[in-house]
Structure formats: C-alpha cells, structure tokens
Amino acid sequence: MGDRGKKIAVHILSIGLVAAVFFVLGREISSQWHLIKNYEFHLKWHLVLLATGVYSISFFFLATGWWLLLRNVNTPIKYWDAIIFFFISLPCKYIPGKIWTAVARTKLCKKYSVSTSVCFLTTGIEGIMEILAGIYISLFAVITSVDFGQAAKIGAGAFVVLGLLLLIPRIFYVFINIFLRLTHQPIISHEGRVGFKKLLVVQVTFGLAMLLMGVSQVIFLKAFTRVPMEYTLYLVSLGTFSYVASVLAFFTPSGLGVREGVWFIALKGIVVEYIGLIFALVSRLWTIIVEALMCSIALGFFLFLRENGEKSSEEGNVTK
C-alpha cells in the first residue's frame, strides 16, 4: 500500500471511529430523549465562568511549558510571542492528522528562524509531557484510593519513578539528539544542555496545567448537577485522563468522540445517566468555544503587534 493508500485508510479509520462513538451517544440520546426533554436544567453560570477561567489558565501553563521546551533545546524566543503563537495554533488540532499544530508554529516562529524540525520536536515532546503529567495525576488518584490494591499502588509508584528517570539529562538528550540527527539538525552539545532541575520545572509546569484542566472539567460538571464530594479526586483525574486520551487518539482530530466516550462511561453511577450524557457533549462544545475565544484574542494581539512593528519599521526608514 502506497503513501496515498495509507492516508486514505487513516482517514477512513478516523471517520469510522468518530462515527461509531457518536452513533452510540446518539442512540443513548434517542432512548432517553423523553427524560432529557422534561428535565429542567438549572445551569450555575458563576461555576461556568469559574470553570472557563481555570480552563484558560491551564492553557497558559501549557504554553509556558512549550516556551520552556524551546529554551531547553537552545531555541529561545520571547515569552509573550510564544504564548501568542501557542494560542493561535490551537484550532490546528481539530484538523485531521497530528502535524498541523507544528506546521502552524513553524510559520509563526519564522522571524526567530526556528527550524521545522525543532517545532515538530518541541510539539512532540509537549504531547509526551502532557501524557506523562496526566498519567501522574491519574495515578495519584489510584495511590490515594481505597478501591485499588497494594500491587496497583506499587505499579503506579514505579511508573512515576520511570517518568522522572526520563528527565535525567543524559537520558533526555539522547532521544533529543537522535531525532536531531535523523532530521539533519545540529545536535545539542553538553555545554548547551540544561540540568535535571530545569527539566523537572518543565514537567511540573505541564503537571499544573493538566491538574487545572481536570479541575476545570469538574467545576463545569458541578455547574450541571450535584456531585458527591468523595468523587472529586476521581473526577479531577478523569478530567486529565480524558484530555490525555484525546492526545493519544492519533486517528481522530483532537480526540473528537474519544473524550466524550470516556466521560459518558465514567460518569455512569455517579450522576443521572442522561445528565452525564448531556455533559459529555456540552463539555466538548464548551471547550471549543473557550479555545476559539483564546485563539481570537491571541490573533488580535498578533495582528496588532505586527501592524505596529511594520509602522515602526517604515518610520525608521523615512527618518534615515
């Protein structure tokens, strides 16, 4: 099978997976429509606004994490430029294929002469850091839960140790330099490497981002319905896991359908089933709206700064 055939197969698989998830969700909506139609939803708007704020802050931490990664591979750019570029590239994750975020960042970072390989490298490491951070938070729920045995807790602790080992510079930069060699980019010498503490700061930054991601999802859920306090930690870890699942779902744009399926299944037995169903769908719509708003604001700043920069350049030429 040629490259074209593989791409077609991936697209068919993506469409099929999304269609299957939404078929199941649609069937559930259809079977419970009489309950949904007669239920009086009392949305707590102050919690919606709080959830939106926390969700937005989590993305600032993700953007900061990407900026730190650029610095750690000897490609520093201005902090606020990195933040703006990160937010502008957010909609790209909804395009089928996982490369478009890196492609967009390559275009945006052009003035800093950041290579395509470095943009792809840091975007890929960003995804790995998000996955590890999300798993750490999920494992914390396992460790502190009475529902899991000693073996599960030991396994969770071992995974955390393994993740920390990957932050040891000698291990971290081996994988970085292998990628750089394969893409014919200059490798990072010992003098240009950062220590364990700085790499740990990167992981902690992503950890805070994923924690806030989970907290925002729980707050948004509580805007819909009451949730027993004993499930809070579990639901926070579930919120981070649903995001990790969307990152891992290579066959669907932004994990479309996967995140909804995770929430729908996990909320059974915690909230009324049809409320969980509505939440699974509405929470996706909410995240899209918030991300679109953040992207629009960042794009406005980008255009404003570029226009002012061009005017300053023209005035400088006239003066000369």
Query: In this predicted model, what pLDDT tens digit does every residue of 57-113 receive, in sequence order?
Result: 999 999 999 999 998 888 889 999 999 999 999 998 887 767 888 889 999 998 888
Average pLDDT of every residue of the chain: 78
| pTM of full prediction above 0.85 | no
Highest mean pLDDT among 4-8, 50-54, 135-139, 214-218: 50-54
**For residue 318, what pLDDT is reported?**
43
The average pLDDT across 241-245 equals 78
Q: What is the mean pLDDT of residues 28-33?
A: 66
